[in-house]
Structure 1
């Protein structure tokens, strides 16, 4: 049976009415083995757990940022690019990790991949805490990011496995609490911890908490990926009945090696041949990289202009945190409601494009926030004013991030991990590279015009979700046929 095109919407309900006696599927729409029918408490336990693990992964990306000056002094380096790279190299790991772990999760399931990622993150975090040379630390940070990418990719797939389409907006809002707040909470907590105990203890704390979550995961996690569960069911029935013709709709006839190769190539095919994936990945990548521009420049900006001490400079990130929380509350309250309203208004069929109005709205907040932040800091207004600007930008960032994530889950379902991996690769590369140019940009253009340049680029992205809202359904249909021929 040939691989199904990733741009089509697949539902388990399609298989119940099939009359082929050799086709193995769920026993009924209410089959308790189907992850969509698991007890509510268990599904939410897994979602909250993966959110916590994601929070620790995101925390790892930025928590030791306030300790970088002490780290550079300990290793006798004054290179400004290296000081930024030791932070952003983690994000390059987030770009590389999904290329391997997304196809693995679609081959072997979510559970083993989640455990590998959790154990790897703990191990390499401990390695960072014990690093004796700067080059070793940079290498360990890369590996830390590669394994830390697992929950970021796996979480969206987990939601696609267990949560119905009309309820995914709220579930994704809970999941992304960890994704978005980690990089913000990190510098705040890290500023006080690094000042009190030194930069190494930042890594030790992360390792201790992540290690505890890993033990909990081993105790409560269950496999949720339908193709893997149905494949196991078919294998068991073949053994019991002796009927070697039993199969599932997800069987490809490929070897494990060929399946894994196809899974890796699928990520690149989505970027190369799906205008939807490419456009949304660039859109999210740009605004997500702005977060890391702020993470790497807010501390020196507030220390130089507003004379914040190193200990309290981390508090300048609180505006971003408040903006993210507000964005998550708005998204949780409105995303599923807008989906239902548009479904009722437009004929009763739920479409992934009904998630995009929030993306359009978020697209306006990002440039407004950067204009506000840049020119208020340039004029040296009271310190709370630029912090409010970063909060407005973060609000838009959160709305864009979550709505694109849930759109990808709705549109690609069983291939959600690959779609999210394509998105993650793009945004992580952009988030690793763009902050390296930020110091030169600000020194050349100033804070006002430098942030205005970022705002103008964000404005140029606004038409993308609007065009997809209008034409996305036709593009998905065309794209499905094209990918099927590859």
Structure 2
């Protein structure tokens, strides 16, 4: 069926060029053109989406698999610096900060597919390098590079979904995709705890290398190019060959000169981050939430080993509470987001990005409540299930914030969705890498109760943001003052 559709499109291409108002502009054959990724059959879309979601899950999984076994890692290299121990875990996330600076522009220059393929192979290679690292410095460098290239699906995944999915169906897909960066870091320590205890920390790296190898093979087999600018350029090249008309060009009129693309992709996210109140404040909010997530990931072993005397394997199970919370947030947020968008759009007669925010207004309070609950329960040495129940609330709050903000930023900046996503990804990755470094000293000085309360009060101070942008977001977003700056 797909081959017949493609053949039919090819037969109409010459007529499309001939009937163009200029004779030289090449565009899709109408809004329903099956060559346009957004109009592909669901099965064709699904095979691309599944691979991206798998890789998006795998990369964050590797970021925290080391956490329960970090004492063994440090013991292997005869180092006992607690700050360095935290950095070995969080340096992976630091790679997510640098990756978008060149992976995003490369996807605009060469298309999504080549970037996915190359990064997946390099991700596997650097996981192998981590497994055979001769010293701690080499391990840190290899983990940084693994995070940089492994962050490819996180960096350009939103752009791919923008290519494939219509806005009214985007919430559910973004919810599933967002589950990777949330469930990966939660399930990683569970697997890493038992693997590290039974066969050693190096096998954590080997398992990641095998899993990433599977992802690389699946990417070669299942993924296709989805970037419209590249697909239309291919169509132009084919029509030039068939018609001999060297003046043909794409109707998208996308500037893809290397210097311009890199300049735009690096400078525009920074401009949006510092000059757009929406992108700046919500990226900062998302960054703090991500930082809290990794702070808890790196300190769970400290809390449950010292206070509750869990061993390396069972420490991994303490992350399940946050996993359950994330699943609850996914189930509620993914369904409610799209339904609310449809309902509110039908009422007003237009789709507004602000219609993505109502689920976030009540659910953002779960994060500070969970932090207070977890911190004071652990401080009081309550039964271990009590602080873990607090992390269920944290998981709900984190998932809803990450999913709703990501979807809102994509819908609010349809022309600059890659830049908006890059700004938020870079911000949250930098904060996520640095915040855990202060975690141990903060808990030592303030204790678990007041330490987590400090985080909770900061999260509570951010809770009015969703309401502010729900009420005034459209006015800010459409203001010529901010549009000109972007």
Taking structure 1 as reference, are residues 424 and 254 closer, same or farther at Cα in structure 2, changes over 3 Å only?
closer
Matches within 5 A, 1:152-171: 152-171=154-173
The equivalent of 1:194 in structure 2 is 196
The equivalent of 2:272 in structure 1 is 270
Matches within 5 A, 1:399-438: 399-413=400-414, 415-438=416-439
The question of whether the paired residues in 2 share the 8 Å contact of 1:99 and 1:267 is answered with: no
The question of whether the paired residues in 2 share the 8 Å contact of 1:362 and 1:397 is answered with: no
Structure 1 CA distance for aligned equivalents of residues 317 and 485 of structure 2: 53
The equivalent of 2:14 in structure 1 is none
Structure 1 CA distance for aligned equivalents of residues 482 and 401 of structure 2: 27
- Cα distance, 1:219 vs structure 2: 1.0
Structure 1 CA distance for aligned equivalents of residues 248 and 270 of structure 2: 32
Residues 229-280 of structure 1: per-residue CA shift (max 9 Å, x gap): 1222233323433434433343245632332222222221221222211111
Structure 1 CA distance for aligned equivalents of residues 439 and 27 of structure 2: 53
The equivalent of 1:50 in structure 2 is 52
Structure 2 CA distance for aligned equivalents of residues 349 and 18 of structure 1: 30
Structure 2 CA distance for aligned equivalents of residues 287 and 23 of structure 1: 46
**Which residues of structure 2 form unaligned runs of 5+?**
1-16
The equivalent of 1:460 in structure 2 is 461
The question of whether the paired residues in 1 share the 8 Å contact of 2:271 and 2:485 is answered with: no
The question of whether the paired residues in 1 share the 8 Å contact of 2:109 and 2:256 is answered with: no
Structure 2 CA distance for aligned equivalents of residues 358 and 92 of structure 1: 30
- Cα distance, 1:184 vs structure 2: 0.4
The equivalent of 2:442 in structure 1 is 441
The equivalent of 1:303 in structure 2 is 305
Question: Residue 312 of structure 1 aligns to a residue in which SS?
Answer: helix
The question of whether the paired residues in 2 share the 8 Å contact of 1:106 and 1:263 is answered with: no
Structure 2 CA distance for aligned equivalents of residues 245 and 466 of structure 1: 51
Structure 2 CA distance for aligned equivalents of residues 176 and 420 of structure 1: 13
The equivalent of 1:234 in structure 2 is 236
Structure 2 CA distance for aligned equivalents of residues 175 and 242 of structure 1: 43
- Cα distance, 1:482 vs structure 2: 4.7
Residues 428-471 of structure 1: per-residue CA shift (max 9 Å, x gap): 11011111111111111111111111011001111222211122
Residues 23-61 of structure 1: per-residue CA shift (max 9 Å, x gap): 322111210101111110121221111111111101110
Residues 39-93 of structure 1: per-residue CA shift (max 9 Å, x gap): 1012122111111111110111011211111111110101000000001111110
The equivalent of 2:11 in structure 1 is none
Structure 1 CA distance for aligned equivalents of residues 25 and 234 of structure 2: 13
Matches within 5 A, 1:283-322: 283-322=285-324
The question of whether the paired residues in 2 share the 8 Å contact of 1:160 and 1:414 is answered with: no
Higher relative contact order (CA 8 A, sep 6+): 1
Which range is displaced more, 251-260 or 319-328?
251-260
Structure 2 CA distance for aligned equivalents of residues 252 and 340 of structure 1: 31
The equivalent of 2:94 in structure 1 is 92
The equivalent of 2:103 in structure 1 is 101
The question of whether the paired residues in 2 share the 8 Å contact of 1:51 and 1:179 is answered with: no
Structure 2 CA distance for aligned equivalents of residues 180 and 80 of structure 1: 25
Taking structure 1 as reference, are residues 18 and 429 closer, same or farther at Cα in structure 2, changes over 3 Å only?
farther
The question of whether the paired residues in 2 share the 8 Å contact of 1:358 and 1:400 is answered with: no
**Which of the numbers 202, 205, 208 marks the counterpart of 1:206?**
208
Taking structure 1 as reference, are residues 200 and 414 closer, same or farther at Cα in structure 2, changes over 3 Å only?
farther
- Cα distance, 1:20 vs structure 2: 4.7
Q: How many residues align?
A: 470
The equivalent of 2:174 in structure 1 is 172
The question of whether the paired residues in 2 share the 8 Å contact of 1:66 and 1:310 is answered with: yes
Structure 2 CA distance for aligned equivalents of residues 138 and 150 of structure 1: 19
Which range is displaced more, 352-361 or 200-209?
352-361
Taking structure 1 as reference, are residues 414 and 50 closer, same or farther at Cα in structure 2, changes over 3 Å only?
farther
* TM-score, scaled relative to structure 1: 0.93
**Which residues of structure 1 form unaligned runs of 5+?**
1-15
Which range is displaced more, 203-212 or 470-479?
470-479
The question of whether the paired residues in 2 share the 8 Å contact of 1:66 and 1:314 is answered with: yes
Structure 2 CA distance for aligned equivalents of residues 254 and 142 of structure 1: 29
Structure 2 CA distance for aligned equivalents of residues 460 and 334 of structure 1: 25
* TM-score, scaled relative to structure 2: 0.93
The question of whether the paired residues in 2 share the 8 Å contact of 1:343 and 1:349 is answered with: yes
- Cα distance, 1:415 vs structure 2: 3.4
The question of whether the paired residues in 1 share the 8 Å contact of 2:67 and 2:301 is answered with: no
